[in-house]
Every structure is written in structure tokens, then in C-alpha cells.
Amino acid sequence: MQQVLNKPIIGITCGDVNGIGIEIIIKALSNAAVLQMCTPVIFASNKVINFYRKMVGDVQFSFTPIKDLERLQPGQINLLNCWEDEVTITPGELNDVGGKYALLSLQKGVEALHEGGIDALVTAPIHKKNIFSDEFPYTGHTPFLKAYFGAPDVAMFMVADNMRVGLLTEHVPVNEIAKHITVDAIVSKLRILNESLQQDFAIPKPKIAVLGLNPHAGDEGLIGEEEQQIIKPAIQKVKDKILAFGPYSSDAFFARGMYQQFDAVLALYHDQGLIPFKSMATGTSMNYTAGLTAVRTSPDHGTAFDIAGKNMADEQPFLMALFGAIDVARNRSDYFNDRKNPLRKMSAKVLANAVDERIDE
């Protein structure tokens, strides 16, 4: 990882230029705590940033344009220009312009992440319809990152103060969900979540709950057979290495607060996990891509075209994603450093005793 003065370098993509992405970036980076904790790099253009800077108004925000990451300025907000085009910005409109420049920003940011020029990437919201193309044939950030990094599998992981929810399937039509639920798929996601909880969230022995697919988790096969034939065998398959439990009926699981007993929950489909998460998560929350060799987070909302350009967007979710990226980058660095040098695991007292014993011999 590249770091400047021991502060992680955090890349930031601008998202759809007609959405709220740049507004919340400006507001978030106006927080004085940001530069104390990291060196931010925005992937966008001077003109687009200045357009929204004027709209936001009275905030303490300034930036330093750079042409490449070799010219990074510590202690300042850096802006790496990704295009020189004259862009017509129309806040709140869904059009090709928003998708085109969102993709340019994303490509530059992910390239820097892949090459190690930045320590983590925070992505502002894109709109799936106007960014989808032959150049970007993906349903969102997560599958794109999986393909770019060549990861065997990744997991969309929603993280808040009081709960973490990973998804087995993401943007899949409801009538196709069941065919994506396999033993191998569940085992893969459980391994990803378990590893991420250990190395990214510093939880040595995480406990993971797995939800059922059918009402009442199938009622022992009376209401569907996936629980008996797929989900339970998958949990059994990993029991020697992962503390996974279930399957649980999702309604009772959340209504009774059972999620509080676990470090993470594996939901089988999008709404099964995100409805309770967005209803019950406390504080601000973020979307994290688990399973990558790099760190990527994003706020847990979309482009919000209905309020774009009105200076109404709340930057707190973006700040959560930014500070979350810093925490994960540091946790991951500590995790791997500890394993490179096992002596770091030993307390100063143990080391001192070991030295004393050697002297006495």
C-alpha cells in the first residue's frame, strides 16, 4: 500500500455528475477531521467540481489539481483530472452524460486502486441504467469490481453500527433467485464474510447467521426444500472452520433482535437483507465489497435525482463510507503485518520475560 505521512490515500469517484455524488463529496471533505485521517484524491474534473462548489455555497472546501498520483499533495484535497471536456451538467436528469463521466471517473479510480496508487476507494452513486453499455455490461459496482480484479467471488456487505448484512444474490429478479441458491454459492459467501470479518473488521472468531429462503425457513420441508437440501448442507460443510448457524426464518430473526447475537448475517436475496438493514440499522451505514484484494466502500444510497442540485443532500452516509474505508484499510494492514511478523502478537511483557529467561540461562 502507498501511504503519505502514515495517512492512507483514499480515492473518491464522482458518480453520476447529475446526481448528488459531487455535492456530498464536497460537503464531506469540508469536515476538518478528514485531512487529519487521510489524503483524499477525487477522480473527476475541475469544472464539474467547481460547478457544485458554487451551488453548495458556504463550506470550507478547496482542492489542488494534480495530473498524476506521483504529484500527490499531502495535507490537501487532491483532484486528479480525468477529462478536459466541456460537460453540460443538468442536476436531476437521467441522461447519457451522467453515465459517460461516471464511468470515466470509476475507471480511473479503480485503475489506481488496482495498481496500488491509493489505499482504498470510495465510490459515489452511479445510475445502473445510464452507465450500462458494451463498455460497462454490469448491474453495478460490485460485479464490475469482481471482474476487474479477477476475484473468484465477492460479497455485497452492508455495514452499520449495530448490524452487518451480506448478500448471497444481488440484483437478480425474484423469479430467478432460487436457481442461484446452491451449496457452493453459500459456502463461497460464508468464506468471504468470515475472512472479511477477521481481516477487515478485526473480529477474530466471527459468528455468522444464515437466513432461510422460504417462509418459516421451510418448516422442515413443508414449505419448500431449499433449507433441507441446500442451506443446511452448506452450513454443515463449513462447520469445522466457520461459526455459521441457521437457517433462520428472516421475519422472526429480525423482529426478535436475533441479529444482535451475530457479527454478520447472510441474506439470500436483495430485499430479504436490505429491507431490515435499512429499517433497523443504527447510525450511518455503508456498502462494502468483501472478497477483493483491495478496499472499496460506498454510501448506502443512490443518485437521488429528486434532490440533486438543490443543496439538500446529507453527506453523513458518505462520511461513514470514507471513514469506514480508512478503518478497513488500517485493519487489513495490521492483519497482514501481524502475520508477516508473529512477534507483534506477543505482548511487551511476554517479550521481556523471554529475554530475561535467555539472560538467566
Q: How confident is the model at residue 355 (pLDDT cuts 50, 70, 90)?
A: very low
CA distance 286 to 359: 52
Fold of 1-151+292-361: Isopropylmalate Dehydrogenase (3.40.718)
| 230-246: average pLDDT | 97
Per-residue pLDDT reduced to its tens digit, 50-63: 999 999 988 889 99
Q: Do domains 1-151+292-361 and 153-288 have the same CATH topology?
A: yes
H-type alpha helices, 8-45 = 21-29, 32-37
Q: Is 61 exposed, middle or buried (0-12, 13-18, 19+ CB in 10 A)?
A: middle
Radius of gyration of the chain (CA): 22
Please state the domain extents for the chain: 1-151+292-361, 153-288
One of 3.40.718.10, 3.90.320.10, 3.40.190.10, 3.30.1520.10 is the CATH number of 153-288, namely: 3.40.718.10
- Segment among 101-105, 112-116, 349-353 with least mean pLDDT: 349-353
Instruction: Record the pTM.
Output: 0.88
